[in-house]
Amino acid sequence: MPEPARTYIDLGWEFHVKKQYDQAIEQFRRAIEMDGNAVDAYYGLALSCKAKGEKEKAIQAFEKVIELAPTLDDRAKAQILSRLAQTHLETIRGADGET
């Protein structure tokens, strides 16, 4: 991953922790622009969108996490991210009454 992308991801998490979701989303999107396979950026984007109530954007980002997770060298991390993303998707879709 390009170092600038990692920097944007780190900034995104700093904003997310402070519940500054708009700024977090902006940083995660910048990271994705630099590295379209940045699973961590998609996961952060998904969580920030979910926290903001932007369900469709969160769903898209969580689905991208599930798509990209198998490409990670760290198999344990890949499985954890996939399971977390799937759980969040079920929660969001359940809240909408979808099955």
The count of structural domains within the chain is: 1
pTM of the complete model beyond 0.85: yes
pLDDT of residue 99: 41
- The mean pLDDT of 11-31, rounded to a whole number, is 98
Residue 22 has pLDDT above 80, yes or no: yes
Domain containing residue 87: 3-95
CATH number of the domain enclosing 77: 1.25.40.10
pLDDT of residue 95: 63
The CA-based dihedral angle spanning residues 89, 90, 91, 96, taken in that order and rounded to the nearest 10 degrees: 90
Residue 54 has pLDDT above 50, yes or no: yes
CA distance 77 to 57: 23
